Structure 1
Amino acid sequence: MKSSISSVLAIVLGLGLASGNSAWAQPTAAPGEAGEAYQGMPAIAPMGVRVDRYLPVPNSAAVPPVDPAKGYRLQELGHGLYMVTDNAYQSMFMVYDKGVVVMDAPPSYSAHLKQAIAEVTDRPITHLIYSHAHIDHIGGAADLGGHPIIVAQEETKRLLERSNDPKRPVPTVTFKDRYTLKVGSQVLELSYHGNAHEPGNIFIWAPAQKVLMVVDIVFPGWMAWSGFADAQDIPGYFNQVAEIDKIPFETLVSGHVDRVGTHADVREQLEFMNDVKSATRTALQTTPPYVGMADADKTNPWAVADNYIDRVVVKCVDAVTPKWQSRLAAYDVFIWSQCFAMQQSLRID
């Protein structure tokens, strides 16, 4: 039975199980109860385990604080372009001779966006660009008031029509691959590079300022959000990080977290991602099935897969932690989910 279950799992789930019979230990707890931890568990607490304190954020990620009375921080990016941030979310606005173009409206500070703009100009908001459809980045669009022209990729319009959310008005102008917005002397070039984080997530390029805005792909100085930022297409996500590095930007606005980014940040994230991929591939190839399982559970293919996957993830976390835990802020928060997402992708993508 052990051999047939292995074959089924290898075919259906693409586990790449190691051959041969593995030694296994009797469980130390009754069915349904927690037993001993997997062998070689890292010191970093896994998901679902409460910690007294997370790892400290490295000094390299330190930035100017947000004035609590304002609820945001304003940073000039040059030639009428500004970033607004609460040191967790980021958006931009561009001033031109007759008005203002806003790029994203995160609800965490959208009530203050008009105040931020008023620090620079009294011109009206004429355009709003959606980076993508997710509510945490554009859920404050209705707070801007007025009736701006809303520009987005056509997939974003499709998703927002499905959501039917009054906080996220449906775009009035859409495009498939590329769109150039010219307002006065200012130019923004919008482009779609396929699904990675989610369909419709675009690149926003300000050529005069050499500023690139791509949201939920790169996280300068920080661990990416859970599961490679909830990427719907992880191979596509890897491709887009590499693609971002090819654009001749001087400043990257990534939608998160507390500072702008550089090419060095992009390359560091890609190096980390490739380390996770390499460690996971090795773990998938060298982890035997059934270790630590009771005989009665070995005929349960879901249980065998769960046991195998858990131990693959443990090996991945163990492999990459010594190099990365002191380099990326909040490394310990999401490293388990990155390794889990990577093994899912390598097995089925």
Structure 2
Amino acid sequence: MNTNHHFGILALAALSGLAACTRAPAPAEPAKAQEPMKQESTADEPGAPGHTPYANMPKIAPIGVRIGKHFDVPAGARGPEVDPAKGYRLQDLGNGLYMVTDNIYQSMFLVYDKGVVVVDTPPNYAANLPKAIAEVTDKPITHLIYSHAHKDHIGGTKALGGKPIIIAQEETARLLKRDNDPDRPLPTVTFKDKYTLEVGGKRLDLSYHGNAHLPGNIFISAPEQKVLMVIDVAFPGWMPWRRFAVAQDVLGSIAQLDEIAKLPWETLVGGHVARTGTHADVDMQVEFYKDLKQAAGQALSSTKPGEGVNPEDMKNPWAIYDDYIDRVVVQCVNTLTPKWSTRLAAYDVYIWDQCYSMEQTLRIE
């Protein structure tokens, strides 16, 4: 079922309520003695917002309603500032491994005796990647690892120049071949389950753990540095991007996060936000997903389809279930807000998305 329609219903209802609170009444015109006063109809017009809003509607504006001011970003979710003149920040992860970030996207590179291995090329700052590398070494870029196929993480590959060996999982190669995008050159080396890159005494272990965010999305481990890179699954200190970061398999994404929490790393590179992650960050996101799943499940089981629906719409199953799903999500948001609204940055931005996505996942998957 298309959730965009649900979002629109909520948005229109909220806008209708907002207009009713803020619109100044028009000056009353004197009634004409020869004509009786006409009483306005209270019946809802077909397709228009209902006069009665959903019960216990959260104060957090639903999707489609512009928010005047979002919640402040908690201090713990922030990272070091980026020099605007450079457009990126370089972070030493130890023994030749570095993270590059613009505090929105993140990539890595590993320096060895004869060259440099780059992991991901976000277009946001890909043109600056050679400059970032040049701060550390003048060695050439010899290898490039694709974390997965999404363009926002590897679409800046051409900015590296040269002809590095490109390594990716088989599913990533398949998707890139299908997409035929010149900004994402096809890999020259592919693997199915595991691949170890050893160059100049440095090592990166690549492994595939199945579909979650996207087929082909891999774990990249630097065991000597105790660094793990997994893109678009963990978001240190932040509410995940909408709909579980647009995960193709929501339950698979939750399972991979659980797996990440159990692995022996010390620093996590998640591909987004302003800082690297810790086990405490991952544990908090695991806890949030557990609460989200429970809240959506309880709302599904305690909400009945058809309650409060206009009797004239009872022969319209789409309308009945649209209303049902909206009420489930309202309850889900209300359940989570007291605990989580101040713990995760951008909670108010994407909580509606997460509740809709979890409701749909539990109901039909």
| Structure 1 length-normalised TM | 0.92
For 2:102, which of 64, 83, 86 is the aligned residue? 86
2:48 is matched with 33
For 2:305, which of 289, 305, 330 is the aligned residue? 289
Cα distance in 1, alignment partners of residues 165 and 78 from structure 2: 36
1:119 is the counterpart of 2:135: yes
2:66 is matched with 50
SS at match of 1:95: strand
Bigger Rg, structure 1 or 2: 2
Deviation at 1:204, TM superposition (A): 0.0
For 1:198, which of 214, 220, 228 is the aligned residue? 214
**Does the CA-based 8 Å contact 1:280-1:343 persist in structure 2?**
yes
Moved more, 229-238 or 288-297: 288-297
SS at match of 2:138: coil
**Does the CA-based 8 Å contact 1:27-1:292 persist in structure 2?**
no
For 2:329, which of 313, 326, 331 is the aligned residue? 313
Cα distance in 1, alignment partners of residues 285 and 80 from structure 2: 23
Distance 1:192 1:27, change over 3 A: farther
Query: Which digits, 9 at most, give the CA deviation of each residue in 1:88-119, with x for residues without a partner?
Result: 10000000000000000000000100000000
For 1:74, which of 83, 90, 101 is the aligned residue? 90
Cα distance in 1, alignment partners of residues 213 and 42 from structure 2: 40
1:139 is matched with 155
Query: Which digits, 9 at most, give the CA deviation of each residue in 1:257-286, with x for residues without a partner?
Result: 110001111110010011000000000000
Note the residue ranges of structure 1 that are not aligned, 5 or more in a row: 1-25
Note the residue ranges of structure 2 that are not aligned, 5 or more in a row: 1-40
Cα distance in 2, alignment partners of residues 77 and 291 from structure 1: 56
Cα distance in 1, alignment partners of residues 173 and 110 from structure 2: 23
SS at match of 1:165: coil
Moved >3 Å (runs of 4+): none
For 2:75, which of 59, 65, 87 is the aligned residue? 59
Distance 1:342 1:105, change over 3 A: same
Cα distance in 1, alignment partners of residues 194 and 168 from structure 2: 10
1:235 is the counterpart of 2:251: yes
Query: Which digits, 9 at most, give the CA deviation of each residue in 1:174-211, with x for residues without a partner?
Result: 00000000011100000000000010000000000000
2:27 is matched with none
Distance 1:248 1:84, change over 3 A: same
**Does the CA-based 8 Å contact 1:92-1:102 persist in structure 2?**
yes
Deviation at 1:62, TM superposition (A): 2.0
Cα distance in 1, alignment partners of residues 144 and 321 from structure 2: 46
**Does the CA-based 8 Å contact 1:317-1:336 persist in structure 2?**
yes
1:177 is matched with 193
Moved more, 176-185 or 54-63: 54-63
Moved more, 306-315 or 31-40: 31-40
| Aligned length in residues | 324
1:217 is matched with 233
For 2:168, which of 152, 160, 163 is the aligned residue? 152
Deviation at 1:60, TM superposition (A): 0.9
One-letter identity of the residue aligned with 2:145: I
Cα distance in 2, alignment partners of residues 27 and 198 from structure 1: 49
Cα distance in 1, alignment partners of residues 188 and 313 from structure 2: 56
One-letter identity of the residue aligned with 1:86: D
Query: Which digits, 9 at most, give the CA deviation of each residue in 1:142-162, with x for residues without a partner?
Result: 111110000000000000001
Of all paired residues, the percent bearing the same amino acid is 65
1:96 is matched with 112
Cα distance in 2, alignment partners of residues 333 and 244 from structure 1: 25
Deviation at 1:27, TM superposition (A): 8.0
1:324 is the counterpart of 2:324: no
**Does the CA-based 8 Å contact 1:27-1:293 persist in structure 2?**
no
Cα distance in 2, alignment partners of residues 254 and 276 from structure 1: 21
